[in-house]
Amino acid sequence: MLTFKNYNIADWFSFYRIAAVPILLFLLWLDEREIFTWFLLLSYSTDAIDGYLARKLKISSARGSQLDSMGDQLTFIVGLIGLWIFEKTFIKENLLLIGIAFVPYILQMAIAFLKYGKATAFHTYLAKTSAVLQATFILWTLFFGPEHVLFYLMIIIGIFETLEEITLIFIYDIWVKDVKGIYWALKDERRAINTER
């Protein structure tokens, strides 16, 4: 039976990010840009902390990877909502580029759910780089205003990262966690298990 005792400290940081979503949405409703941005910064900070703790304490698990991914996605979505509310003009001006980046992402999510019944948790180097760029852009924009070079870089890396995730879904017949990238996937023993069936 799964109880709260089964969760480790890294999991609880992921839980914080998930639990913070209603608070962040409430702050958006109150139109509290500065407080919202600081709380969003705190959520992004817990993402770095839980990953570090999971590796340092060797407590990473499939459940933890899924919690981490869920927390990441929810935080990112709330950040985008914040951008829409506080920087609507910039978003409208760049809606086409944002749409181009989102189409592969939605496709990747759909393929993952069709194949695995849940979202991926590959946590590739490219995904981590993309997540850092997204967080940096969102926070920078909310604190100081839009930075176009950072925006374009985020879009480009985001598209490449999503295409890599789609490729990895086709490489792995079964759900796996923590794949550094395509290069490492091709040498991964877990992939060999797939081809032996």
For the stretch 171-193, pLDDT in tens is 999 999 889 999 999 999 887 66
Q: What is the pLDDT of residues 35-60, one digit of tens each?
A: 999 999 999 988 777 666 666 666 56
Residue length of the chain? 197
Q: Where are the domains of the chain?
A: 7-86, 87-197
Q: What pLDDT does 97 receive? A: 94
Q: What is the pLDDT of residues 53-111, one digit of tens each?
A: 666 666 566 666 777 778 888 999 999 999 999 999 999 999 999 999 999 999 999 99
Question: How many other CB atoms sit within 10 Å of the CB of residue 9?
Answer: 12
Query: In this model, does residue 197 exceed pLDDT 50?
Result: no
Find out whether 183 and 191 touch, Cβ atoms under 8 Å.
no
The reported pLDDT for the residue numbered 16 is 87
**Global confidence as pTM:** 0.83
What are the tens digits of pLDDT across the range 120-144? 889 899 999 999 999 999 999 999 9
Rounded to an integer, what distance in angstroms lies between the CA atom of residue 118 and that of residue 112? 6
Q: For the stretch 29-40, what's the b/e string if a residue is b when 16 or more beta carbons lie within 10 angstroms of its beta carbon?
A: eeeebeebbebb
Q: Which residue has the higher pLDDT, 56 or 5?
A: 56
pLDDT band at residue 12 under the 50/70/90 scheme:
confident
Asked if pLDDT for residue 196 goes beyond 60, the answer is no
